[in-house]
Amino acid sequence: MEAKRYPITVESFHYDLVKSDTPAKNDLQVAMRQIQWSDPKRQEELKKGNLFEMMIPFDVVPDNSGFEISGKITQIVQVMDYFGEANELPQEELGKLSRPLVETIETLTYQVTAVALDQGVNLQFGASDEQPGQH
């Protein structure tokens, strides 16, 4: 499916030190809701496909890392020639649509840990619920 993407918004991103024995946590929630443009001049765009707001609230403690990240990343996406509901999208498509947001979380984490810990930590989130890897 083709999609038109609007800019990613980092609504919040928190980095906190925690005890190194804090239990690992990998809580990423991908949610999608249909939206409408409030600007009447943009209503014509809706004939090309439905607009959705992608949202990923997250709370992650990598195993034995000594830090926790949490926050919320969003993006408006127009799925071209698609007029169904968000929950009717195939899981594979949802994964493709949400991947740039997940990559933003990974990038922010690397950059913040590079400064805070003097060594960047790579998180690699997969499609499953497995714990993020560190490299």
> Which residue is it, tokens 């990559």?
103
Encode pLDDT of 96-111 as tens digits: 999 999 999 999 999 9
Domains and CATH numbers, the chain: 3-116 (3.10.420.10)
Q: Are 26 and 131 in contact (CB under 8 A)?
A: yes
Encode pLDDT of 45-83 as tens digits: 888 999 999 999 999 999 989 999 999 999 999 999 999
Residue 22, amino acid:
T
Quote the pTM value: 0.87
